[in-house]
Amino acid sequence: MTNPSIHATAIIDPSADIAEDVEIGPWTLIGPDVKIGAGTKIASHVVIKGPTEIGCNNRIYQFSSVGEDTPDLKYKGEQTRLVIGDNNIIRECVTLHRGTVQDRSETTIGNNNLLMAYVHVGHDSVIGNHTILVNNASLAGHVVVDDWAILGGFTLVHQYCRIGAHCFTGMGSAIGKDVPAYTMVTGAPAAARSINSEGLKRRGFTKDEIAMIQKAYKLIYRRGLTVDEAVLELKASLADYPCLQPLVDSLELSSRGIVR
């Protein structure tokens, strides 16, 4: 019996594991080793290649390329994956590449993310939850974007960089170093400007928490301390202000140095 939620022109490999209520538009191609969870809607002219696992209640718009081989020259056709969580919106012409065996063998996208038109997520990258990547934001390979970060349009992120939780990047930012949690950066090359105070207000941070985060920002950027020295001072305040933990974590996990 024909599934009425799958258009007759869709091309679906028999081995694909697709939940019964998934909607698939015309001329979409779904290859082998693809799993798609319940409630997901896929528009027309989408290409999904495996191994790829897509969770529940996602929306994938037309002309997106999901789970394609990475163009990284070290990739030689090894078995790698793309894993996408639940409740994500993937807009027009987004490109999401699988991983490489030289790193994680997996590109990972969490839950409740919005990837706007022409966003690119390179191999082995990790996107957390509740992030927004605005039109044409591009992640090179091995990039980490933590929860609630917002990347402005045409933001470019160099490989191996980490974008901390609740960060905000201005349009056209070119990021070549790690961005600590809560920080707002702009420019090419990107420079730290302030904390993302408006974003923190919208997410329910208290006035005291925001004031403490602002104080921590000044400690990092205005006092001439090394990152290690700043971390030691921030840790002394963690008991009273646990909101500083993501900032401490992002500083301690930094491998490329932080945007200044």
Q: Tell me the mean pLDDT per 10 residues along the chain, length 260.
A: 82 96 98 98 98 98 98 95 98 98 97 98 98 98 98 98 98 98 98 97 97 97 95 96 97 96
pLDDT at position 3, please? 76
Per DSSP, the three-state class of 59 is: strand
Domains and their CATH numbers in the chain: 11-142 (2.160.10.10), 200-252 (1.20.1180.10)
- Give the whole-angstrom CA distance, residue 134 versus residue 155: 8
Measure CA 38 to chain center.
Answer: 22
Structure token pair of residue 180: 């600590």
- Give the whole-angstrom CA distance, residue 225 versus residue 80: 41
pLDDT at position 2, please? 58
pLDDT at position 1, please? 38
In the set 72, 103, 124, 146, the catalytic residue is 124
In the set 97, 120, 123, 166, the catalytic residue is 123
In the set 50, 85, 141, 152, the catalytic residue is 141
DSSP code string of 95-150: EEE---TTTTSEEEE-SS-EE-TT-EE-TT-EE-SS-EE-TT-EE-TT-EE-TT-E
Annotation says 124 is catalytic:
yes
Annotation says 123 is catalytic:
yes
Annotation says 141 is catalytic:
yes
